[in-house]
Structure formats: structure tokens, C-alpha cells
């Protein structure tokens, strides 16, 4: 096998996504004093920009962390030991969040799924209606399950909670949807939204964000889980003056200012349309190959990644290895129980039609070279889909 290292590496993971040159240049500036006079203007601009992306007028905080830190922050600021939380096991990330909650002594009721769909709003409503004593303190959902490519319809989940008349907090992992898929923290009545830097926000990994409703802020006053680093109250207090309670990731914040400017210049609606086009085009390719996506429901397909099921007897990671060596392209691996059974094509962030075409060409050729029985013509189908929209 010829290993190809020439040209630019195709980083087609569903995060970390490709970091635009503009953002890389912004990050490479000299670090400034985070307790100095120039910092408050930066902090305030970032909070304003993030509010626009989360679509919220509420508080937004930034932690030097990955998305997993965001999960922990959402839990420890709102819950107490023994609190009941309702969660859906829609995939590996939902499962990981469930594990974090349990490690803190939170009692998690899990609704299992077959990992081929999002959380079912009807089931959510039924479980909340049955909880007449309102013992669930929170409902925690993953918006875009990056291990499966299936999305949970958060607006419908909110309506289900309202129909059940349940006061539970709504915590949403939007790690792989904020900045690339339609997301509305305020309109959907979300209490805590968690996001991270390395997906739609087009930054390297290293920043986690929370948008926090007034109801969640009130909950934090009585929440008794142990917290120190993740406590959002000192963060909110320092941010009000434009500072941080501890050293922030200064250079990533420079990058964030640039990526927020890029999202604003393109316009969020346009950003969402662009990703929806990639999602449709990638699924046309999968269909043309005669393969299937892990997500079974048409109305829950993710716009930012396509998870492809390998035919029986073919190992997805061997195929990924071939694609890596032959085409200098990284595709996402199958996670948890999907290991070896699926591969994930990321089409998120700083991306265009020809990058998608190149990515799908590498996948199609890699499948053929791996001896996977496919029909050719997936790239063609994707191009036609792109031409039509
Ligand atoms: N939630 C979702 C939906 C994710 O896709 C990821 C990571 O890919 C995480 C949470 C965990 O984030 P991190 O790996 O940044 O800790």
C-alpha cells in the first residue's frame, strides 16, 4: 500500500473539524494579560457573539475544557446527590453523559433506544406524565448524537415536557450542533445548553460553553453536588467585569472571536442551509452505493455527519485505515457498540461543495478497494444533489 502524505490532509471527522486559516492566524497572536486592560472588551464581544449563535439573551460561559467538561458543569451546577434525571441512551455520547451523572450519585432513569433514532418525544411525555410527584429534577438530551448521526427534535421534546406539565429542567448537549445546525436555546425553552469549540465553531478542541437560563441559575443556588472549577457563579461574576476567575484559554479566545465573525458574515441561516445541503448530498451518495445510514428516520438525519453501516463481514476500521493510508483522509470511527460496524463522514464547519465531493470520492474508491460490494455512482449522485439545491 502506498502511503500518501502529499497535499492537505482531509480531516473528515465529525469534529474536530477543519480550522480555517483565518482562525489559525488569529490564534497565533501573542498572548495578552488576562487580568489586563484589554481583556474585558474581548470577553464582552465573545459573550455577545456566543449569545447570537446559541440564540439566547441569557448568560453564556466559557470553560477551558472539552465537551465532557461541559456535561459535568451542567450537572454539578443544577443537581444535588440523589436527584432523579431522565435520559435517553441514543448513542455513545448519551451513554457517556449518563455515566458522568451516575458517578456523581445522580439517579438516572434511562430510556434505551436502538441507536438508530433520536429521543422519542411521545415516550418522554408519557414518562413525565407518569411522574405525578414531579420527582424528575431534569431531562437531559443529546441534540445531535455524533456517534450515530441521529438527531433529537428538541423543539418537540420541549412541547412534550410542556404538555406533561412537568417542571423538570431541560439540559441539552448541543456539542456537535451549535454553529452548524438550527439551534434555539431561548425559543426551545432549554435551561442549559452545552457546546464545544471543535465542531461548528471551527476551532481546535479546548473550549466548552454553556448557555444558562434564569431557571437554571436559580437552580444552582440550591444545587448541592460538589463543584469548584465548574461552578458557574464565580465565572458569571468575573465575566460581568470582563474577566475570568482563573486563566482562560486566551489564544483560543482570539480564535473564537474570528470564528464568530465568520459565522456572522455568512449568516447563521446560510450556515445551516449549507450543512443541510451536505447532509442531503452525502445521503444520496450512501443510497447510490446501496448502503444504509445508521439513522433510520428521515426527519432525524443529522446535517453535519453521515454514519454509514458497513455490510456484514466488512470491518469499518480496516476500511478507514486504507482510506487514511491511500488518500490521506481521516474518517470517524464507530464508537462503543458500533466499533467496526460503521464509519462516520464529517461534513461540518469550514467546508464546501468540492471538499464534500473529494471526501465522497475517497470513500467510494476506498470502499471499492476494500472489496466492499457497492454500486459506483455515489459521488455523481452527491454532485447532482448539490447542483439541485
Ligand atoms: N457530546 C457530543 C454530542 C459529542 O460529539 C462529543 C464529542 O465528540 C462530546 C459530547 C464530548 O466532547 P469532548 O470529546 O470534547 O469531551
**pLDDT at residue 6, as a whole number:** 87
The domain total for the chain is: 2
- Residue 3: per-residue pLDDT: 67
Q: What is the pLDDT of residues 150-189, one digit of tens each?
A: 999 999 999 999 999 999 999 999 999 999 999 999 999 9
Question: Percent of the chain having pLDDT more than 70?
Answer: 99
Residue 346 lies in a domain: yes
pLDDT computed for residue 103 by the predictor: 98
Show which of 264, 298, 329 is a domain's final residue.
264
The mean pLDDT value of the chain amounts to 97
pLDDT digits (tens, 9 = 90+) for 221-230: 999 999 999 9
Q: Which residues line ligand 1 (CB under 6 A)?
A: 15, 66-68, 93, 142, 146, 173, 175-176, 196, 205
Indicate which CATH number applies to the domain containing 341: 3.90.1150.10
Statement to judge: residues 356 and 229 lie in one domain: no
Beta strands in the chain (DSSP E): 10-12, 59-64, 84-89, 107-112, 136-142, 144-145, 150-151, 169-173, 192-196, 207-212, 292-293, 305-309, 329-331, 342-346
Atom of ligand 1 nearest to the CA of 174: 3
Domain-embedded: residue 15: no
Is there a domain that residue 282 lies in? yes
Same domain, 252 and 279: no
Residues 126 and 167 in one domain: yes
- What pLDDT is attached to residue 5? 80
Q: Indicate if the pLDDT at residue 2 is higher than 80.
A: no
Does 342 map to a domain? yes
257 and 273 together in one domain: no
Confidence of residue 311 (pLDDT cuts 50, 70, 90): very high
Residue 379 scores a pLDDT above 70 = yes
The parent domain of residue 284 ranges over 269-388
Ligand 1 site-directed mutation target among 14, 68, 141, 143, most atoms within 8 Å of CB = 68
| Same-domain status, 260 and 273 | no
Nearest residue CA, atom 5 of ligand 1? Answer: 146
pLDDT tens digits for 331-349? 999 999 999 999 999 999 9
User: How many angstroms separate the alpha carbon of residue 79 from the centre of ligand 1?
Assistant: 21
Indicate whether 226 and 310 sit together in one domain. no
50-76 tens-digit pLDDT: 999 999 999 999 999 999 999 999 999
* Residue nearest to ligand 1 atom 10, measured at CA: 67
For residue 187, the model assigns a pLDDT of: 98
Residues 240 and 378 in one domain: no
In a domain, 310, yes or no: yes
In this prediction, residue 333 carries a pLDDT of: 98
- Rounded average pLDDT over 33-57: 98
229 and 331 share one domain: no
- Compute, in angstroms, the gap from residue 68 CA to the centroid of ligand 1: 6
Residue 222 and residue 175 share a domain = yes
Cα end-to-end distance, the chain, whole Å: 38
Helices within 87-201 (DSSP H only): 92-103, 121-130, 154-163
Compute the average pLDDT of residues 130-140: 98
In a domain, 275, yes or no: yes
Q: Which three cell numbers stand for residue 24?
A: 489559525
Please state the rounded mean pLDDT for residues 292-317: 98
Domain identity same for 248 and 318? no
pLDDT over threshold 80, residue 117: yes
What pLDDT is attached to residue 136? 98
Distance from residue 92's CA to the centre of ligand 1 (Å): 10
| Separation CA 179–CA 201 (nearest Å) | 6
Instruction: Locate 35 and state its grid cell.
Output: 487580568
pLDDT at 1 over 80: no
On whether the CB atoms of residues 23 and 259 are closer than 8 A, the answer is: yes
- Domain membership flag for residue 6: no
* 4 pLDDT tier (thresholds 50, 70, 90): low
Amino acid at each position: 500500500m502506498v502511503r500518501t502524505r502529499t497535499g492537505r490532509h482531509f480531516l473528515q471527522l465529525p469534529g474536530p473539524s477543519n480550522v480555517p486559516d483565518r482562525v489559525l492566524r488569529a490564534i497565533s497572536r501573542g498572548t495578552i494579560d488576562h487580568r489586563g486592560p484589554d481583556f474585558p472588551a474581548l470577553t464582552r464581544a465573545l459573550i455577545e457573539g456566543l449569545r447570537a449563535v446559541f440564540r439566547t439573551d441569557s448568560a453564556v460561559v466559557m470553560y477551558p475544557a472539552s465537551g465532557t467538561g461541559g456535561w459535568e458543569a451542567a450537572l454539578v451546577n443544577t443537581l444535588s446527590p440523589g436527584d432523579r434525571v431522565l435520559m435517553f441512551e441514543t448513542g455513545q455520547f448519551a451513554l457517556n453523559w449518563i455515566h458522568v451523572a451516575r458517578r456523581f450519585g445522580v439517579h438516572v432513569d434511562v430510556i434505551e433506544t436502538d441507536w438508530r433514532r433520536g429521543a422519542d418525544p411521545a415516550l418522554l411525555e408519557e414518562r413525565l406524565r407518569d411522574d405525578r410527584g414531579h420527582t424528575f429534577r431534569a431531562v437531559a438530551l443529546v441534540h445531535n448524537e455524533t456517534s450515530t448521526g441521529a438527531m433529537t427534535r428538541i423543539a418537540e421534546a420541549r412541547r412534550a415536557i410542556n404538555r406533561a406539565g412537568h417542571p423538570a429542567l431541560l439540559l441539552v448537549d448541543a456539542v456537535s450542533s451549535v454553529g452548524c445546525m438550527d439551534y434555539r436555546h431561548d425559543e426551545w425553552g432549554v435551561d442549559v445548553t452545552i457546546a464545544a469549540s471543535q465542531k461548528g465553531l471551527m476551532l481546535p478542541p479546548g473550549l466548552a460553553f454553556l448557555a444558562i437560563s434564569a431557571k437554571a441559575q436559580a437552580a444552582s443556588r440550591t444545587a448541592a453536588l460538589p463543584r469548584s472549577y465548574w461552578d458557574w457563579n464565580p465565572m458569571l461574576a468575573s465575566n460581568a467585569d470582563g474577566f475570568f476567575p482563573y486563566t482562560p484559554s486566551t489564544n483560543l479566545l482570539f480564535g473564537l472571536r474570528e470564528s464568530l465573525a465568520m459565522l456572522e458574515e455568512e449568516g447563521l441561516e446560510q450556515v445551516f442551509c449549507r450543512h443541510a445541503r451536505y447532509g442531503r448530498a452525502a445521503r444520496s451518495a450512501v443510497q447510490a452505493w446501496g448502503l444504509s445510514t445508521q439513522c433510520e428516520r428521515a426527519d432525524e438525519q443529522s446535517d453535519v455527519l453521515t454514519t454509514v453501516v458497513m455490510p456484514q463481514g466488512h470491518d469499518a476500521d480496516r476500511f478507514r485505515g486504507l482510506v487514511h493510508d491511500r488518500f490521506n483522509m481521516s474518517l470517524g470511527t464507530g464508537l462503543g457498540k458500533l466499533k467496526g460496524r460503521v464509519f462516520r463522514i464529517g461534513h461540518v464547519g469550514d467546508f464546501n461543495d468540492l471538499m464534500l465531493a473529494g471526501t465522497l470520492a475517497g470513500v467510494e474508491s476506498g470502499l471499492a478497494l476494500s472489496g466492499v460490494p457497492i454500486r459506483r455512482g455515489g459521488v455523481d449522485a452527491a454532485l447532482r444533489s448539490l447542483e439541485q439545491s
